[in-house]
Amino acid sequence: MIGGRAVSLREASHSIVADSRPDNDGLRDIVLTYLRAGDDIAAIQRAISERDRSLAPGLASFEGLRLVKTDEWECLVSYILATYANVPRISKMVSSLASAYGKRIDSEFNAFPTMRRLREASVEDLERCGLGYRARYVHDLCQQVDARRIESMRRLGYDDLREELLGFPGVGNKVADCVALFGFGKLESFPIDVWIERALARMYGIRGSYRELREFAQDRFGPYAGYAQEYLYHNERELSRSGTCRFMRRGGSSDRIP
DNA sequence: GCCCAGGAGTGTG
DNA sequence: CACACTCATGGG
């Protein structure tokens, strides 16, 4: 809401970023950093369209859909929790951890726990937060990661970052790519979950191992594959929920890359 | 009650 | 490397 008027995220981002009044600088930095307001969506969509003409017609309607840039530690733990769980439950696990170990912000909200604080939790403590078998992963992760480790990982390129993330307990291909994309801002990362598998099979008729699908996607979508993933993901979920589909199947001659 | 969830670890072929 | 099986639990 701006001035009591409902606006799109795109318009809100523009208004806040354009407003350089001193008392708005904090909010401006937050929007720039965490809502990626500096990303040139038009240029990104153009780059994706040039690589895959079949996506061009649908992309414009996703103009307001943005990637987020979250805290690396929070992102890492959250996606470890997200394995084999649905979204409402993931939210519940995160808020339970915050309630038990996070700094109190107000009567109904706690910040996500710091590494140091969460390290004090036993496996049993974490299970009481509803983590299930993920409690062991988070507990072991806390014993082998600290702020300096995360800091050093910020300087890595996508491939090296991915390898290091895969060394953490509870981190496989999909989680590593999600943390690389949303936590470390590697826009070439293309996380593949069940929805993306469905999208790639439906639209391109391909199936395969994680590596095969990832190489296909990165070759096809290029340095902004992460944005392409976000578009494909939401389109596939919309298709499942309401039957609407913004992207057509490939197959015509007009969408072929010369 | 039943089925599924924005998967990962482990063991085996 | 690819597959099958198991993992603990809440939501729909």
pLDDT confidence band for A253 (50 / 70 / 90):
very low
Beta-bridged to residue A110, according to DSSP, are: A104
- Residue A2, classed as helix, strand or coil, is strand
pLDDT confidence band for A250 (50 / 70 / 90):
low
C-alpha span between A125 and A21 (Å, rounded): 45
Q: Which nucleotide is nearest to A196 (CA to C1')?
A: B6
Q: Which tops the pLDDT comparison, A35 or A153?
A: A153
Is A174 among the residues known to form the active site? yes
Each residue's pLDDT tens digit, A207-220: 999 999 999 999 99
Each residue's pLDDT tens digit, A39-57: 999 999 999 999 999 999 9
Side-chain-side CA neighbours of A198 within 13 Å: the count stands at: 12
Nearest protein residue by Cα to C1' of nucleotide C1:
A209
C-alpha span between A101 and A64 (Å, rounded): 34
Pick the catalytic residue from A92, A103, A174, A186: A174
CA angle A129, A134, A138 (to 5 degrees): 85
Q: Which nucleotides on chain C have any atom < 7 A from a protein Cβ?
A: 1-3, 7-12
Each residue's pLDDT tens digit, A134-143: 999 999 999 9
Q: Which residues contact A241 (CB under 8 A, 6 or more apart)?
A: none
Query: Has residue A169 got a pLDDT over 70?
Result: yes
Q: Where are the alpha helices (DSSP H) in chain A?
A: 9-18, 25-34, 41-51, 56-59, 72-81, 87-101, 115-118, 123-127, 134-144, 147-153, 158-166, 173-178, 194-204, 210-221, 225-242
The set of residues with CB closer than 7 Å to nucleic strand C is A 84-86, 88-89, 92, 127, 130, 132-133, 208-209, 211-212
Which class for A118: exposed (0-12), middle (13-18), buried (19 or more C-beta within 10 A)?
Answer: buried
Q: Which nucleotide is nearest to A89 (CA to C1')?
A: C10
Query: Has residue A190 got a pLDDT over 80?
Result: yes
- Name the phi and psi angles at A130, rounded to 5: 85, 20
